Amino acid sequence: MQKGIIFVILFLSIFICFPQIQLSQNKTPTPSPTPINTEGNNDNEILKIESSLIQTGVTVLDKKGQFVQNLKQDDFEVKVDGKPVVLSFFESVIENQIIAESKSQNKNNKQNISQLTYNGRGRTIIFVVDDLHLSFESHARTRDLILKFIDNDFELNDILAIVSTSGKIGFLQQFTNDKIVLKKAVDRLIYNRNFSGSDRLIPPMSDYEALLIDRRDPEVTNVFAQLMAKEYPGSDYESNVAQVRTRASSILVQARILSENTLKVLDEAIRRAAQREGRKIVFFLSDGFLTDPVSSDSVYLLHRITDAAARTNTVVYSFDVKGLEAGLPEGTTAANAGGQTGYRIQSGERFEVQDGLSTIADTTGGRFITNSNDLKTEVGKALVEASGYYLLAWEPDIEIISKEKLKKVEVFVKGHPDLKVRLQNGYLGEVAEKGLKKDAETESAPSQLSEETQLRNALNSQFLQNDLPTSMVLNYLDLPNEGGVVKAAIQIKNEFLEFTKDAEENSAKVDFLGSLYNSDGKKEGYFKDRITVSSKNKSEKPDLFYNLQTILKPGLYQIRIATRDVKSGKLGNAVQWINIPDLTKHKLALSSLLLSENSKDNFQKSVNYPNDSSLSSSEISVNRIFQRSSNLRYVIFIYNTKLGKNNLPDITVQTQLFRKGKLILDGQPRQLSLEGQDLERLYYAAELPLNSFPSGQYEIKLTIQDKNINSSLEQMVSFEIR
């Protein structure tokens, strides 16, 4: 038998029961793969957490616009509604390095010592796309901006959410670092003019023109009344004026609904990020909209956004996506009248629709970017600006927060009136009061929640629960006689488990709860289990492995799991996405890129046919953490290749390695050997020594090209070297 066929058989056997456990070292058997119950249910719990702690992320800039470093807590003065407040916490954050200083007193009246730490977290970024107020050109520009950011500027530790004010993105509006999911979310941003508040009648009337007419502007009203007279000769002028005002009123009603919905979506997007530590950066992309303080709730909604930013340490950068405009605003009939009236309307509209964008940026510590066609550069500048800040936090006064108004926050650098300070400059009283009550209930007795509720809360959390670190990997393969199979492997390291010793063995118990969703958020299945991991050897505490398997239709899916150590009550969770290709379309398709670790010293730098003996020391990795002394083995399967004139496929494979978004290893395309291959399921396997790479996080990318049809696909996976 060809050694290539031997390898495939051995590799598939490992995949089917992965992760492989070397029984000579770990005598605890891995449970058989547990099928996912695909009947589903109607549970839709969402965990929402509010915080009572008021915090503002302060950016201090000198006259040149450079961040001012090395300021201490005593350098700042903070006032709320003109009254000084006492800070309970202070952080100086500069590019993931934190200098923390707390002024709280301990029992011995000694202050805590300042310390420098590395937080190890990436950036939390949200793109809020106001597709309710984007022109066709701006819509295309926005999509291009986000896609370029995902491809070129999104780093391994980053977490990103893409949110649309129209709700088109739906279930994919989640925080993730999966680039496939993020690009699928961008794909759902489809332009639709019907979202605009204008009524599409002739002559066109913009929202701003409707606002002026509603305010009894005589010149604008007269322009539309005269146009109606031309359209309907002999009509009464006063009747035309009445109809114009009725039309303007109708347009404003719809415009206000859309504007208020936009502000509510932005507010919710900011509050969703509360569980994520550190600063959150929001890019709010819009062409602008009316925020009429007289006839709508715009002022209150703007205050809520300021409040949300203060409670979550979020900074908002607002973008006028239109950029530089050479001509008149779209749909401005009265502006075309020319003269002073036309100029007044044109300039007034630009100011009015930008006012909300400017206010949001100013009150959340960000910047309003306008009159720029280079949005990508502006995003880069904003990320640099947001990487350095001072976090000031304090508990609000219970008596003060009972009033329903925005509390104005002011921050000064003592003795330096020349320095510019940006901050989240307010918070709402009644929201703070509710937040205090909610937090008191949650924090006072979390153990009183049922085990089921605790698991469901962890399952629905927007972010990772790290008390019980839980690793999960999803892999897809099209297997002979089985078809497309998805395998999920879950691992919990032994040091995080609470073991119980008895007369016969060490054992730990973990509850599992999980759900399977399609890309529209419909629950396709669920599972629930309790697993016991044990060892007869009293000195041994094995890791816990748990396997799931299912067969899914083509599409994008998410699997969410929650774990709970029965003895300690510690919680963990994991979320993974997987994309299942449709092989029936007979287009080039790939399996998941499977990673394993080979610890043997005798290896080749890159091989198409690793021999069967080398597999005995390899296992498919769940946490994708590898030692520098080992070799990374990676395997991918290729489906639906086309046969050329010689009745054979012609496939090349290129391997690239990235660190912090930079290409550090650029392999040349290699011709895939067909020796011993099943032409229905070609595979490529190779090894890479890790001893020449420093510790850290990486991405490995394989590019598969079918030269017979000049088609290529990529598969990318992140991993860590220790």
Q: Check whether 114 has a pLDDT greater than 50.
A: no
1-25+583-722: which CATH architecture?
A: Sandwich (2.60)
List, by residue range, all CATH 2.60.40.10 domains of the chain: 31-46+460-580
pLDDT attached to residue 420: 93
Pairing of strands 124-129, 159-164: parallel
Q: Which class does domain 124-386 fall in?
A: alpha beta
578 beta partners: 557
Domain 31-46+460-580 has CATH 1.20.1560.10: no
| Burial class of residue 238, CB neighbours in 10 A (0-12, 13-18, 19+) | exposed
Residue range 413-425: average pLDDT? Answer: 94
More confident call, 287 vs 22: 287
Which tens digit of pLDDT belongs to each residue from 516-528? 999 999 999 989 9
pLDDT attached to residue 404: 60
- Minimum mean pLDDT range among 132-136, 273-277, 332-336, 665-669: 332-336
pLDDT attached to residue 340: 65
User: What are the CB-based long-range contacts (under 8 Å, 24+) for 89-92?
Assistant: 89/55, 89/391, 89/392, 89/393, 89/394, 90/390, 90/391, 90/392, 90/393, 91/390, 91/391, 92/390, 92/391
Q: Check whether 161 has a pLDDT greater than 90.
A: yes
Residues 6+ apart with CB under 8 A from 195: 131, 132, 133, 166, 258
- Minimum mean pLDDT range among 101-115, 225-239, 278-292, 350-364: 101-115
Give the pLDDT band (50/70/90) at residue 308.
very high
Residue range 648-656: average pLDDT? Answer: 96
Task: Count CB neighbours of 539 within 10 A.
Answer: 6
Q: Check whether 121 has a pLDDT greater than 90.
A: no
More confident call, 574 vs 295: 574
Would you call 285 helix, strand, or coil by DSSP?
A: strand
Residues 6+ apart with CB under 8 A from 426: 303, 306, 307, 310, 363, 406, 407, 408, 409
Residue range 224-228: average pLDDT? Answer: 88
Give the pLDDT band (50/70/90) at residue 439.
very low
Give the pLDDT band (50/70/90) at residue 241.
very high
- Minimum mean pLDDT range among 357-366, 393-402, 471-480, 682-691: 393-402
pLDDT attached to residue 41: 47
Q: Which of 35, 95, 9 is nearest to 546 (CA)?
A: 35
Which tens digit of pLDDT belongs to each residue from 363-416? 999 999 998 899 999 999 999 888 889 999 888 776 555 456 888 999 999 999
Pairing of strands 368-369, 314-320: parallel
Q: DSSP secondary structure string, 160-173? A: EEEEETT-TTGGG-
pLDDT attached to residue 568: 94
List, by residue range, all CATH 2.60.40.3880 domains of the chain: 1-25+583-722
List, by residue range, all CATH 3.40.50.410 domains of the chain: 124-386
Q: Check whether 214 has a pLDDT greater than 60.
A: yes
Q: Which of 714, 93, 81, 37 is nearest to 428 (CA)?
A: 81
Q: For all residues of the chain together, what is the average pLDDT?
A: 81
More confident call, 646 vs 24: 646
